[in-house]
Amino acid sequence: MSQSGQRIGMLGGTFDPVHLGHLRSALEVHEALSLDRLHMIPAQQPPLRSQPQVSAQQRLALLKAGIGDTPGLVADDRELRRDGPSYSADTLAELRAEYGYQSRLVMVIGFDAFLRLTQWHQPERLFELAHLVVIARPGYNDPLPESLMELVEHRRVDSVETLMQRPCGGYLPLQLPSLMTISATYIRQCLVEKKSVRYLVPAPVEEAIEQGRLYQQRD
Ligand code: ATP
């Protein structure tokens, strides 16, 4: 496929640490949207968290270990190379410049993150750059606040096919086959309490956490 016609996804997150909820969702969204590539992009450390125990570079290393050789998924460190706050709109603008104006660019977020979308920097601009695909997360069924409805409802489409007819601007809620309740918060809690995280994270991530003695203290 030509450079201009590619289907590219972006899944941002703290990935603190990456877990099978992220990775299985990434793989399933890659398949559901027939993406050529899904960029998984760790964010800078949130400014309000005190004394991070695990650096952004360590989170990136865990993400790389988790992805391994999975076709189509890439650990992308671009937000860690930028100074200042990392806005998703700026990240999408970079991807748009790289892949060209005809490529189908999709920002993928979980429903919990979606509920806060109107508080993001320049939410309207996100749709000038990309489509938004919202994946269901178990336990999050709240109705959309009115301001969020206003932002997304007129952009809603009902199928991947319709979404991919244009390069950007659409909104598609998507229920992936494997709903997982796993969260990074739960994994950090297990590690503090010296409980096993086996089968919650990929084996190489579990190994790297053990070797680096990461997440042993409460945040
Ligand atoms: P924390 O528990 O620390 O808040 P998290 O597990 O929600 O972290 P993030 O790195 O904040 O992970 O999430 C990155 C993106 O992945 C978000 O859009 C989030 O909604 C989505 N996501 C996280 N866990 C899952 C899951 N189990 N299923 C589907 N999507 C998920």
The 10s digit of each residue's pLDDT in 10-35 is 999 999 999 999 999 999 999 999 99
pLDDT at 2: 45
Q: What is the mean pLDDT of residues 102-114?
A: 96
Omega within 30 of 0 (cis) for the link into 202 = no
Q: Which atom of ligand 1 is nearest to the CA of 176?
A: 29
71 backbone dihedrals φ, ψ, rounded to 5°: -60, 135
Distance CA 85, CA 152 (A): 25
Q: Given pLDDT bands bounded at 50, 70 and 90, which one contains residue 47?
A: low
Does the pLDDT value for residue 3 go beyond 50?
no
Q: Given pLDDT bands bounded at 50, 70 and 90, which one contains residue 53?
A: confident
As given in the structure block, the two tokens for residue 8 are 């590219």
Distance CA 78, CA 13 (A): 13
ipTM above 0.85, yes or no: yes
Q: Which helix (H) or strand (E) holds 21?
A: helix 20-32
Q: What is the mean pLDDT of residues 106-134?
A: 96
Q: What is the pTM of this model?
A: 0.95
User: Ligand 1, from 137, 176, 187, 192: best to mutate by most atoms within 8 Å of Cβ?
Assistant: 137
Does the pLDDT value for residue 203 go beyond 90?
yes
As given in the structure block, the two tokens for residue 138 are 């178990």
Instruction: Judge: domain 3-180, CATH 3.40.50.620.
Output: yes
CA–centroid distance, 100 to ligand 1, in Å, is 28
171, β-bridge pairs: 132, 156
CA–centroid distance, 9 to ligand 1, in Å, is 16
CA–centroid distance, 200 to ligand 1, in Å, is 13
Q: What is the mean pLDDT of residues 68-80?
A: 97
Contact (Cβ atoms closer than 8 angstroms) between residue 94 and residue 87: no
Does the pLDDT value for residue 50 go beyond 60?
no
- Check residue 43 and report its DSSP letter: P
Does the pLDDT value for residue 183 go beyond 80?
yes
As given in the structure block, the two tokens for residue 26 are 């990434």
Q: Quote the mean pLDDT of the chain.
A: 93
Contact (Cβ atoms closer than 8 angstroms) between residue 92 and residue 129: yes
Through-space distance between the first and last CA atoms of the chain, rounded to whole angstroms: 46
Nearest protein Cα to ligand 1, atom 26: 21
Q: What is the mean pLDDT of residues 54-73?
A: 97
CA–centroid distance, 18 to ligand 1, in Å, is 9
